[in-house]
Amino acid sequence: MTTPSGTPAHTHHPLPSYLQADHLGPWGIYLQQVDRVTPYLGHLARWVETLKRPKRMLVVDVPIELDNGTIAHFEGYRVQHNLSRGPGKGGVRFHQDVTLSEVMALSAWMSIKNAAVNVPYGGAKGGIRVDPKKLSRGELERLTRRYTSEIGLLIGPSKDIPAPDVNTNGQIMSWMMDTYSMNTGATATGVVTGKPIDLGGSLGRVEATGRGVFTVGVEAAKRTGLAIAGAKVAVQGFGNVGGIAGKLFAEAGAKVVAVQDHTGTIFKSDGLDVPALLAHVKQHGGVGGFAGAETMANDEFWGVQCDILIPAALEGQITKDNAARITAKLVIEGANGPTTPEADDILADKGVLVLPDVIANAGGVTVSYFEWVQDFSSFFWSEDEINARLVRIMQEAFDGVWQVAQQHKVTLRTATFIVACQRILHAREMRGLYP
Ligand code: GLU
């Protein structure tokens, strides 16, 4: 088979078994998203199979001695999905449900996200299958250090740069940075982002994902005539992403009427006191037990009357079983992969505008990029400068994606994938196949 230009077309081999769609699991969802965009890729479609196979995947055994003297083994992963545009970049997740297939999908979404906001990175992700809440601080440190050492084969400031994700934070990044530095014999601040300020972290990084969610929300509201002041907002997950986004929406005059997390669902029709709720979450680890609200059954959350819904927890939350009940006009995906393709179609049919993860939550990695640049140059920027640059990148990226969506009459998710896949596959094509 040849292409019109006379070069042989890509030969299609079936995907290896471990890459095949795990039905509605995250990797299967990602493969469907790629299939949806392929018709819009023109001659670059020749390279699309690249996106269906992570470049490199490492599964590691992470043994640690527990405080009670026994030895425990945990499964760790680092997946580099695509490195065509630059080094790997993406967070590390500690969660009891982490699987290789989930990390593959998360790494692929990082490739798309990094290309969508045009930061010079490929996509990567890591994780450990562990419930970190069950570990002591010492156990958590030993786990983090051993994992970092095991994935030392892949990571490095110009190779692959981890960052925080679900259940990881500045302390864990500090241990990762220290372990890598000890193993290589030189302090390497640029090996991870999301570090504390004193260790080469960036101002604004902690708030960046939530700020990005808010920024694209404001852009979408402008274009659809939705007033933020007075808008009712429901948020799932009140951590680093949902908590900050909720705070910024509340400061802009919106009412956060419902919040759900792993500790329960709370509701207040005239708006929760967000600063008080953030203080409660900091102290108690979740929204459960917050005095200034009523509680509701977890499943009722999806039917709450609201204008803006922000899923900011885990994947696969908005499904064919609850999408029809959603009353919001705008869904802003703070989480990675919260909406299944079937739910996407239901929401599109209802006229609900979905701001997809691969652009909506890209603020975090954008400021990670700033952190990495500052570490390399050993010159640090002011918070105002960082926030201004973040907002500009998010606005420009959103504007570009909005235009592509109008031009092709597609959803913002497909439009974001079009923009991102074109950038990745163009780089792939220009670099050519080695050897
Ligand atoms: N874990 C975040 C994400 O999913 C941030 C990744 C990073 O900063 O590298 O986008």
Can you give the pLDDT at residue 10? 54
pLDDT the model gives residue 435: 94
Question: 339 to each of 95, 323, 335, 421, how far by Cα in Å?
Answer: 20, 9, 9, 20
- Backbone dihedral region of 99: left (phi > 0), alpha (psi from -120 to 50 degrees) or beta? beta
The CATH label, of 3.20.20.70, 3.40.50.300, 3.40.50.10860, 3.40.50.970, for the domain at 54-188 is 3.40.50.10860
> What pLDDT, on the 0 to 100 scale, is given for residue 154?
98
Catalytic option among 89, 113, 125, 195 = 125
CATH number for 206-360: choose from 3.40.50.300, 3.90.1010.10, 3.30.470.20, 3.40.50.720: 3.40.50.720
320 is catalytic: no
Q: Is-contact 354 343, C-beta < 8 A?
A: no
12: how many CB neighbours lie within 10 A of its CB? 8
Q: In what order do the strands lie in the sheet with 255-261?
A: 294-296, 264-267, 255-261, 232-236, 308-311, 330-332, 353-355
Instruction: Kindly list the strands in the beta sheet with 56-65, ordered across the sheet, starting from the edge strand earlier in the chain.
Output: 56-65, 71-82, 123-129, 92-95
The per-residue pLDDT for 23 is 66
pLDDT in tens, 350-407: 999 999 999 999 999 999 999 999 999 999 999 999 999 999 999 999 999 999 999 9
Q: Which residues pair with 421 in a beta bridge?
A: none
pLDDT of amino acid 3: 45
- Asked whether 368 lines ligand 1 (CB < 6 A), one says yes
CA–CA dist 332, 427 (Å, integer): 29
Cβ 365 under 6 angstroms from ligand 1: yes
Provide CATH 3.40.50.10860 ranges for the chain. Answer: 54-188
Alpha-carbon separation of residue 429 from 63, 104, 129, 413 (angstroms): 41, 23, 36, 23
* Cα angle 341, 360, 53; round to 5: 55
User: Best mutation site among 113, 165, 315 for ligand 1, i.e. most ligand atoms within 8 A of its Cβ?
Assistant: 165
104 lines ligand 1 (CB under 6 A): no
Instruction: Report the phi/psi class of residue 316: left, alpha or beta, with left for phi > 0 and alpha for psi in -120 to 50.
Output: left
Q: Which residue among 93, 169, 367, 368 has the greatest number of ligand 1 atoms within 8 angstroms of its CB, and so is best to mutate?
A: 368
pLDDT given for residue 12 in this prediction: 66
Q: What is the pTM of this model?
A: 0.95
CA distance 226 to 179: 48
Query: What per-residue confidence (pLDDT) applies to 297?
Result: 97
Q: How many residues does the chain have?
A: 435
90 lines ligand 1 (CB under 6 A): yes
Written as six digits, the tokens of 257 are: 């009427």
What CA–CA distance (Å, rounded) separates 429 from 418?
16
Question: How far apart are the C-alpha atoms of 35 and 52, rounded to whole Å?
Answer: 10
Which amino acid is it at 358?
Answer: V
Q: Is the CB of 105 under 6 A from ligand 1?
A: no
> What distance in angstroms lies between residue 107's CA and the mean position of ligand 1's atoms?
10
Give the integer Cα–Cα distance in Å for 361 and 373: 20
Q: Ligand 1 centroid vs 183 CA: distance in angstroms? A: 24
Burial (CB < 10 A; 0-12, 13-18, 19+), residue 211, is buried
Instruction: Say yes or no: CB of residue 88 within 6 Å of ligand 1.
Output: no
Ligand 1 atom with the smallest distance to the CA of 109 is 4
Ligand 1 site, residue 364, Cβ cutoff 6 A: yes
How many angstroms separate the alpha carbon of residue 419 from the centre of ligand 1?
19
CA 256 remoteness from chain centre: 22
Which residue's alpha carbon is at the smallest distance from atom 9 of ligand 1?
90
Instruction: Give pLDDT < 70 ranges for the chain.
Output: 1-12, 22-24
Q: Where in the chain is the domain with CATH 3.40.50.720?
A: 206-360
